[in-house]
Amino acid sequence: MTTMTPAAPDTDGRGGLTVASGAVERIAAQAITELDGLGGAASRVLGIAVGGEDPDQGAKVSANVTGGTATLDVRLSVKYPLSVRATTETAREHLIRRVGELSGLTVTRVGITVTALHTAEPETRRVR
């Protein structure tokens, strides 16, 4: 969804800024990569990961832009043994600040779903 914001008071009515939801999604996904301990989220079908958890793939972000505000829904993984609560709160604050700085929008809500805890070393399974 693309929304046109009214012209800022100091622009003498010369125009407004249009920010697409897709642009906000890309900004937020990039902002997540600026933080340590967070990774991507695998797609799921009936609760089963399809393609495996890939912490390097990047977080999945959905954005809804209305006027001068945006809401974000983020799916990501957290590196074990970091505190999920503290890590996601840091991510939430970072997203509000960075998306606001880069898009000019006010982020009113950031919903975060943690899809997995990942370790530094990938698991290897042995067949016996």
Residue 108 confidence (pLDDT): 97
* Closest by Cα among 128, 122, 37 to 83: 37
> Count H helices, E strands: the chain?
2, 8
Residue 34 confidence (pLDDT): 95
The full set of domains in the chain, from first to last, is: 21-118 (3.30.70.1350)
Which residue positions in the chain have pLDDT lower than 50? 53-55
* Closest by Cα among 110, 72, 76, 105 to 93: 110
Residue 68 confidence (pLDDT): 93
Separation CA 12–CA 28 (nearest Å): 31
Residue 17 confidence (pLDDT): 75
Residue 80 confidence (pLDDT): 92
* Closest by Cα among 76, 78, 73, 72 to 57: 76
